[in-house]
Amino acid sequence: MGNNGLLDLNMAGVQWEITENPAKNNTKKTPVQQSFSAQTNRQDDKPMIIAPSAPITLETVKSMVARPNDIQSLIRMICEFNHPLRNGATNVVMPNIATKPNGLLIITDIPSTDDDLSGNILSGMAGEMTDKMLSAINMSRESVSIIPLVFWRTPGGRSPNKEELDLIRPFTDKIIEMLKPKVILTFGTLAAQEIGKINLTSMHGNEIETESGYTVIPVYHPNYLILKPSAKRDVWNALQNVQKMLKNA
């Protein structure tokens, strides 16, 4: 496979890792993450036994998601949710919920190996790149919420199938509804397709209005920027536009 093919795979989230050696994770957990980290961490020597259960239907998930009235309860439900990807993951990858929200929500592709090991979204090298991107427009994880499309790493980092995406989508939609973002920034090809219903390559950096009334701006995933630094200029222009939109909102 040529370099262009490899880049396409990386943009799509099929193969994330820049290296097989996990990067040191310096991402700090928010209070919401800290309150649930103890019950989601599986990195001890004791095996976790999950009782078998009947297949979960989409209608059941929608009924479950309708119950929580606050973000903490919803995240607790995600931690306890018996999603098909859960058994193969090390940790539930927790969303980053801003403690001082400024109206920006980032929705990113599937968790990486670093995310799976730490339980934090966008950790390792991708996390460092994300923090630099936010810092460039005077933002941080304290002011920006970040959620993944799915909260568990897929086997081998493959793209999740339709059933896996459909079963978790009600949780994503509920988080969006609760946070009421002024702008949604998507990272990666899959997030652009699922949230904005658009092709990232042709619509990168453009403003898209969703049927739900949210403004979505799709950009390359931080991992893609690590592989292709020349793409940073396009992302920088999009970030500046996001900054202006939030100031004028």
pLDDT digits (tens, 9 = 90+) for 102-158: 999 999 999 999 999 999 999 999 999 999 999 999 999 999 999 999 999 999 999
- Sequence-separated (6 or more) residues with CB below 8 Å from residue 169: 194
- Sequence-separated (6 or more) residues with CB below 8 Å from residue 35: 72
pTM of the complete model: 0.80
Question: Vertex 225, ends 224 and 230: CA angle to 5°?
Answer: 120
Pairing state between β 208-209 and 215-219: antiparallel
- Sequence-separated (6 or more) residues with CB below 8 Å from residue 240: 137
- The full set of domains in the chain, from first to last, is 30-37+54-248 (3.40.470.10)
pLDDT of res. 46: 47
- Who wins on pLDDT, 182 or 42? 182
Cα 188 to Cα 181: distance, rounded to the nearest angstrom:
19
pLDDT of res. 97: 96
Query: How much of the chain is in helix, strand and coil states, percent to nearest 5?
Result: 50, 10, 40
